[in-house]
């Protein structure tokens, strides 16, 4: 049986796009820094990382689609934070963002990594943005490196 698997490593010609919301800036900025640091620590040049800021999580998929439609990025990392409130708006934004990102990945056959936190309260987000549960930005950056390598193999 043939087994195909990528490894966490950078390819010199690969560019990465981080699409990050400006909503919940303390959390999202920590996610962006975690992703940036992980990419650089694994050999990606800082000049090969593009940061695109959008108002909120709802706008992330359309920005990702715009980037995916133009050649140039080996992977797109989506970073944001949606915190449950008193209305259904949380579910609409979190679910819509996630489904939109999957559509971009499938339509453009491009790794699109979902690092948009959907949490019950701010403490949950803090735990996943450099707190006791690590940094989701770093996790998606490592997954992006692995997927880019896998795409080269496939």
What's the Rg (C-alpha) of the chain? 15
Would you please indicate which residues are annotated as catalytic (active-site) residues?
A: 89
Torsion of CA 132, 23, 87, 95, to 10 degrees: -80
In 27-101, the DSSP E strands lie at 49-54, 75-83
Strand partners, 80: 116
Strand partners, 135: 129
């Amino acid at each position: 049986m043939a087994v195909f698997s990528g490894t966490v490593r950078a390819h010199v010609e690969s560019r990465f796009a981080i699409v990050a919301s400006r909503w919940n800036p303390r959390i999202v900025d920590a996610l962006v820094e975690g992703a940036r640091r992980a990419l650089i620590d694994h050999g990606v040049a800082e000049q090969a990382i593009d940061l695109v800021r959008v108002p909120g999580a709802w706008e992330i998929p359309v920005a990702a689609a715009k980037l995916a439609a133009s050649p140039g990025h080996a992977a797109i990392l989506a970073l944001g934070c949606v915190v449950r409130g008193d209305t259904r708006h949380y579910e609409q934004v979190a679910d819509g963002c996630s489904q939109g990102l999957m559509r971009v990945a499938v339509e453009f056959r491009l790794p699109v990594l979902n690092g948009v936190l959907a949490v019950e309260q701010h403490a949950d987000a803090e735990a996943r943005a450099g707190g006791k549960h690590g940094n989701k930005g770093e996790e998606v950056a490592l997954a992006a490196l692995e997927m880019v390598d896998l795409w080269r193999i496939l």
